[in-house]
């Protein structure tokens, strides 16, 4: 992978361009390729096997044009007016931290260590910020916008109030690599993993081996369960008890039809 990154981006030697423009470009390419793939399914109803795995059948199926335009407007606003400036701010902070700002590929052990750290820190930051957003005052003024999607689609991952987008979406994403002192390539890998995951979790489709999709879809359906990403803090605080009961009942129901 180091060979690939170094050869693709070798002509780009400017550190600012690599760490701001290319990094922002990586996030946008990942988001719109993955999000566009799920949107294709939402709009066309193809392939059939994905439609059969719809978690809330018949809802936003297909997505109405006016709703799609609204989500694009809000999402692009957040990505351009918030995502890009924060990517620019992230760069000098990483300079101050002493992070590797070059295309050097890290040792695999360091890459895995940093990814594990980022995943766990994201769980902590997202869980607590998300629960805070469900405080009645903050929910009414901020988080309610995101919960307009009771049956979310992939692009709904960026459909949020600007304050929520900063503190509950971007901060958990960027804080981990900053604290870990992660290098540029590690950041690209982490951003790719995190963005793909959040789109998947909002996609509204069951994907075998990816329990997070059902986990977060249930949160959008019921509002007061499943606040985290991994489910670790939901298990600790028992904010997933109704979801577990739902899954038990679901398995029993499926068992009676087999």
Q: Is 168 helix (H, G, I), strand (E, B) or coil?
A: helix
For residue 60, name the pLDDT band (cuts at 50, 70, 90): confident
Mean pLDDT of the region 160-169 = 98
pLDDT given for residue 12 in this prediction: 60
Find the distance separating the first CA and the last CA of the chain, reported in whole Å. 45
- Separation CA 52–CA 189 (nearest Å): 31
Q: What is the pLDDT of residues 213-254, one digit of tens each?
A: 999 999 999 999 999 999 999 999 999 999 999 888 887 776
Tell me the C-alpha to C-alpha distance, in Å, between residue 208 and each of 31, 167, 239, 257: 21, 31, 24, 20
- What count of other Cβ atoms lies within 10 Å of the Cβ of residue 189? 22
Which position has the higher pLDDT, 12 or 14?
14
**pLDDT tens digits, 15-28:** 999 999 999 999 99
Q: CA dihedral defined by 224, 122, 34, 213, rounded to 10 degrees? A: -30
What does the pLDDT average to over 135-149? 96
User: According to the model, what pLDDT value does residue 258 have?
Assistant: 47
Q: Is the predicted pLDDT of residue 210 greater than 90, yes or no?
A: no
Please check whether residue 103 is in contact with residue 18, taking contact to mean a CB–CB distance below 8 angstroms: yes
């Amino acid at each position: 992978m180091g060979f690939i990154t170094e050869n693709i981006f070798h002509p780009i030697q400017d550190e600012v361009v690599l760490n701001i423009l290319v990094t922002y470009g990586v996030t946008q390419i990942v988001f719109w390729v993955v999000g566009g793939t799920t949107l294709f399914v939402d709009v066309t109803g193809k392939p059939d096997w994905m439609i059969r795995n719809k978690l809330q059948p018949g809802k936003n199926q297909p997505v109405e044009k006016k709703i799609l335009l609204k989500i694009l407007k809000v999402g692009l606003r957040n990505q351009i007016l918030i995502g890009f400036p924060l990517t620019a701010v992230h760069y000098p902070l990483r300079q101050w931290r002493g992070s590797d700002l070059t295309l050097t590929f890290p040792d695999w052990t360091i890459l895995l260590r940093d990814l594990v750290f980022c995943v766990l820190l994201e769980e902590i930051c997202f869980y607590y910020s998300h629960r805070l957003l469900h405080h009645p005052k903050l929910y009414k003024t901020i988080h309610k916008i995101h919960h307009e999607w009771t049956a979310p689609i992939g692009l709904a991952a960026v459909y949020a109030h600007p304050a929520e987008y900063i503190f509950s979406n971007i901060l958990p994403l960027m804080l981990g690599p900053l604290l870990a002192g992660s290098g540029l390539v590690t950041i690209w890998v982490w951003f790719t993993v995190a963005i793909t995951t959040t789109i998947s979790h909002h996609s509204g489709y069951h994907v075998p081996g990816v329990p997070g999709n059902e986990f977060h879809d249930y949160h959008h359906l019921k509002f007061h369960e499943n606040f985290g990403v991994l489910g670790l803090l939901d298990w600790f605080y028992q904010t997933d008890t109704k979801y577990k009961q739902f899954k038990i009942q679901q398995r029993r129901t499926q068992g009676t039809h087999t």
